[in-house]
């Protein structure tokens, strides 16, 4: 049996965003459904934690971008406590990436620019879905879709004021690679002022 390759501090890029770009780029080349999915964890100001899957829409040195309804559970929690964590788990390649940091809203202009690229049905959905609110039945949602379809018939759908982007600004990033006999490789990057400090964790 071929021995699994190990992850070396010397083999990784000194910049964790560039290292993420390498791994994520390999992920995007696969035929996996939703290769951009990521678990996002948020919490209330008193520590009640929630997790759910969102789609990563962009990333850069500035952070990792996703969009949502500001009135949703995650939107409200991020307003209370602007800190969050992301987990990318890629079992097919035996890898995962964990990111922790602060969260900030992106500009209205950036949210509007992305909103314009969404399919028309998704634009209507942003208006119709009262995300995370209790609704009486499926028909309630379908009636709202019909209402907004009629409202914007033949018109450009404007971005709802309650919808937009958040950017997770990383302070800590871990690259994890599966090893034999659970002796996994865990390399972490911690932001210290304007540079990244690299260390290894025990599996």
> Which residues have a catalytic role annotated?
182
How far, in Å, CA of 144 to CA of 140, rounded? 6
Q: Token pair of 35, please?
A: 């290769």
How far, in Å, CA of 149 to CA of 121, rounded? 9
Burial of 48 (0-12, 13-18, 19+ CB in 10 A): exposed
Burial of 101 (0-12, 13-18, 19+ CB in 10 A): buried
DSSP three-state, residue 37: strand
Phi and psi at 69, nearest 5°, equal -85, 125
Which helix or strand (DSSP H or E) is residue 82 part of? none
Q: Where are the alpha helices (DSSP H) in the chain?
A: 16-28, 73-80, 108-115, 120-128, 138-151
């Amino acid at each position: 049996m071929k021995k699994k390759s190990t992850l070396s501090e010397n083999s990784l890029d000194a910049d964790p965003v560039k290292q993420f770009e390498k791994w994520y780029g390999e992920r995007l080349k696969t035929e996996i459904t939703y290769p951009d999915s990521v678990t996002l964890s948020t919490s209330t100001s008193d520590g009640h934690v929630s997790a759910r899957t969102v789609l990563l829409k962009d990333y850069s040195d500035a952070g990792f971008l996703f969009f949502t309804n500001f009135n949703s559970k995650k939107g409200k929690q991020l307003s209370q406590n602007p800190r969050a964590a992301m987990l990318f788990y890629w079992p097919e390649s035996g890898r995962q990436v964990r990111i922790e940091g602060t969260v900030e809203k992106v500009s209205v202009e950036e949210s509007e620019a992305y909103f314009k690229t969404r399919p028309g049905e998704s634009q209507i959905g942003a208006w119709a879905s009262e995300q995370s609110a209790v609704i009486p039945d499926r028909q309630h949602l379908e009636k709202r879709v019909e209402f907004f379809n009629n409202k914007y018939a033949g018109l450009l759908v404007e971005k709802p004021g309650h919808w937009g982007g958040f950017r997770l600004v990383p302070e800590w990033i871990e690259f994890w690679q599966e090893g034999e006999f659970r002796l996994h490789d865990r390399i972490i990057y911690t932001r210290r002022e304007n540079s990244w400090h690299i260390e290894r964790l025990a599996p």
